[in-house]
Amino acid sequence: MAKDPNEFARGILDTIIAKHDPESVKGKDAKKVASGLKGGSKGGHARAKKLSAKKRSAIAQKAVKARWQKSTQSKSSSKSSS
């Protein structure tokens, strides 16, 4: 991750530009960039179609638990630093 906010912003812009204009990515094959962007955008949907409702529910519950654990840890650490 870039330490300088301007470098970080430039990285974001490069990502956006690459999504809309794969040929603008320097040093990379435009066809491969385009196919990579295409595949990534449909990956989650394809995976969800293959999973049963029970398995999707289990994955979602695991994610919720992880988010709650993370949020409670950050709250407790911010209270102790006060």
Q: What is the pLDDT of residues 38-82, one digit of tens each?
A: 666 667 778 888 999 999 999 999 999 999 988 887 777 666 555
Which residue from 3, 60, 31 is spatially nearest to 11, judged by alpha carbons? 3
| Between 66 and 13, the higher pLDDT residue | 66
Q: Indicate the helix (H) or strand (E) that contains 47.
A: helix 30-50
| C-alpha to C-alpha distance for 67 and 75, rounded to whole angstroms | 12
Q: What is the pLDDT of residue 59?
A: 93
CA atoms within 13 A on the CB side of 63: 6
* One domain, residues 46 and 65: no
Residues 56 and 31 placed together within one structural domain of the fold? no
Tokens of 74: 């950050």
> Are 44 and 78 found together in one domain?
no
The predicted structure's pLDDT at residue 64: 94
One domain for residues 66 and 33: no
Residues 32 and 59 in one domain: no
Are residues 56 and 27 part of one domain? no
Q: Is the pTM of this model over 0.85?
A: no
26 pLDDT exceeds 80? no
Q: Domains in the chain: how many in total?
A: 2
Same domain flag for 42 and 17: yes
What is the spatial distance between Cα 19 and Cα 36, in angstroms, rounded to a whole number? Answer: 10
Domain span including residue 64: 52-82
